[in-house]
């Protein structure tokens, strides 16, 4: 039993090798292809970072301009996909919409050869924001938005589609940083799902659909949405802390704290907290940030748990005017870069991922004919 507990969730076990990202390494910290996440968030654009993840190197100016041009060209929705999105009920889970749309796109623009994989990765990166925003806007208002904008960045494109107007520079940068921080995180549940599917030599879209399914779960992608609920019906830091204490007394998990890999701090948290604070200074309900800091301090002092990326990301998105139901689909719009990188890496030196299991059932039974049972 002790051995089974040790292996539960495969915590602490290596399931393969990757050159894409370091996670949980106290010396190296979080790095994408060797680049520190703090430096990338501060100095790079999401377009530069997504190029890095898909191609292994940061782009030159000429390469970046060509890449951005391809992303702009890939934003449009095929007519069949657009009509399908309009048929999906407004009550649907937005992650189901993302998964369904990805699957349908795989039938409209199938991967006929693995040589198409980078082209498909760029297409999915470009079209996922359009899928998310088009379905949400149509399902809520019945209006058909134009997804083929000429915004230079994905961050601007997303905020423009949702708000109906271009964001200001601070809003665009806050979204850009969030996309960078969520882009990649080694063998997390959704990425590992994608790699398992890819290891069977399945197509690109199937691998991504599997990853979306894993990300849909509350213990993976839904934490940022759940974090925002901590502030509902609270007006002061004292009320917010009291609510956390009440939830803990009821044996409820406080989402947005702790991490499966990080032990002392999430290296991404300070980055997103910085932008959440700046946005709060211009937001109507900026007092949410003060409550968030009070919760963070109480959890650290009394539970020795630190805020992870999801906690302040919830505020970041809220201050940007993004509906809570789209927090996890936004995760997809970013993490598609990491998933794509891992799918391609898995294919490069592929071995079927097929672990064994320790059998704990009944050793042997004699078969009894149905008339004697």
Tell me if 159 sits within 8 A of 173, measured CB to CB: no
- Supply the pLDDT for residue 27: 61
Structure tokens at 332: 């997809």
Q: What letter would DSSP give residue 216?
A: T
Residue 167 CA to residue 161 CA, distance in Å, equals 10
Residue 151 CA to residue 68 CA, distance in Å, equals 10
Q: What letter would DSSP give residue 28?
A: T
How far is the first Cα of the chain from the last one, in angstroms, to the nearest whole number? 33
| Residue range 115-143, pLDDT digits in tens | 999 999 999 999 999 999 999 999 999 99
Q: What is the pLDDT along the chain (373 residues), one digit of tens a residue?
A: 344 455 666 766 777 899 999 986 656 689 999 999 999 999 999 999 999 999 999 999 999 999 999 999 999 999 999 999 999 999 999 999 999 999 999 999 999 999 999 999 999 999 999 999 999 999 999 999 999 888 999 999 999 999 999 999 999 999 999 999 999 999 999 999 999 999 999 999 999 999 999 999 887 877 778 888 888 778 899 999 999 999 999 999 898 998 888 888 999 999 999 999 999 999 988 999 999 999 999 999 999 999 999 999 999 999 999 999 999 999 999 999 999 999 999 999 999 999 888 899 999 999 999 999 9
Q: Nearest to residue 51, comparing CAs of 357, 337, 290, 350?
A: 337
What CATH code is assigned to 224-319?
1.10.230.10
Q: Do 17-217+326-348 and 224-319 agree at the fold level?
A: no
* Rg value, the chain, Cα: 22
Within a 10 A sphere around the Cβ of 176, how many other Cβ atoms?
A: 22
The CB-side HSE value for 38 (13 A sphere, CA atoms) comes to 8
State how beta strands 21-22 and 35-36 pair. unpaired
- Supply the pLDDT for residue 157: 97
Q: Nearest to residue 182, comparing CAs of 302, 76, 329, 78?
A: 329
Tell me if 180 sits within 8 A of 49, measured CB to CB: yes
| Distances 329 to 56, 69, 95, 185, 300 between C-alpha atoms, Å | 25, 24, 6, 17, 29
Which single residue is written with the structure tokens 């107007």? 165
Listed by start position, the domains of the chain span: 17-217+326-348, 224-319
What CATH code is assigned to 17-217+326-348?
1.10.580.10
Residue 340 CA to residue 205 CA, distance in Å, equals 10
- Supply the pLDDT for residue 131: 98
Torsion of the alpha carbons at 301, 302, 305 and 308, rounded to the nearest 10: -70
Q: Which residues, at least 6 apart from 65, have a Cβ–Cβ distance to it below 8 Å?
A: none
Task: Point out the residues that are catalytic.
Answer: 220, 259, 310
In a 3-state reduction of DSSP, which class is residue 271?
helix
């Amino acid at each position: 039993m002790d051995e089974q507990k040790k292996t539960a969730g495969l915590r602490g076990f290596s399931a393969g090798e990757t050159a894409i990202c370091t996670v949980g390494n106290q010396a190296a910290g979080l790095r994408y292809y060797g680049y520190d996440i703090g430096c990338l968030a501060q100095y790079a654009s999401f377009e530069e970072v997504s190029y890095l993840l898909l191609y292994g190197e940061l782009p030159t100016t000429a390469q970046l301009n060509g890449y951005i041009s391809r992303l702009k060209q890939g934003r449009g929705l095929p007519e069949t996909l657009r009509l399908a999105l309009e048929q999906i009920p407004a009550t649907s889970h937005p992650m189901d919409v993302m998964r369904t749309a990805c699957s349908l796109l795989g039938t409209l623009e199938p991967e006929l050869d693995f040589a198409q994989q980078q082209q498909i990765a760029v297409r999915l990166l470009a079209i996922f924001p359009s899928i998310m925003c088009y379905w949400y806007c149509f399902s809520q208002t019945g209006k058909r938005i134009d997804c083929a904008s000429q915004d230079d960045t994905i961050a601007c494109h997303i905020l423009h589609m949702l708000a109906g107007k271009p964001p200001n520079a601070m809003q665009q940068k806050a979204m850009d940083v969030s996309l960078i921080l969520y882009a990649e995180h080694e063998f997390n549940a959704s990425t590992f799902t994608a790699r398992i599917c890819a290891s069977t030599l399945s197509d690109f879209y199937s691998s991504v659909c599997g990853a979306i399914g894993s990300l849909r779960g509350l213990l993976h992608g839904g934490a940022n949405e759940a974090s925002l609920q901590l502030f509902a019906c609270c007006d002061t830091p004292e009320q917010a802390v009291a609510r956390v204490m009440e939830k803990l007394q009821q044996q409820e998990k406080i989402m947005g704290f702790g991490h499966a890999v990080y032990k002392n701090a999430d290296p991404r948290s300070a980055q997103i907290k910085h932008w959440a604070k700046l946005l709060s200074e211009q937001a109507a309900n900026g007092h949410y940030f003060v409550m968030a800091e009070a919760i963070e301090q109480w959890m650290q002092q009394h539970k020795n748990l630190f805020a992870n990326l999801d906690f302040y990301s919830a505020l970041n998105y809220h201050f940007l005017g993004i509906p809570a139901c789209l927090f996890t689909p936004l995760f997809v719009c970013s993490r598609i870069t990491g998933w794509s990188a891992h799918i391609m890496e898995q294919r490069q030196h592929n071995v079927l991922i097929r672990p064994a299991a320790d059998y704990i059932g009944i050793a042997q039974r004699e078969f009894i004919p149905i008339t004697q049972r």
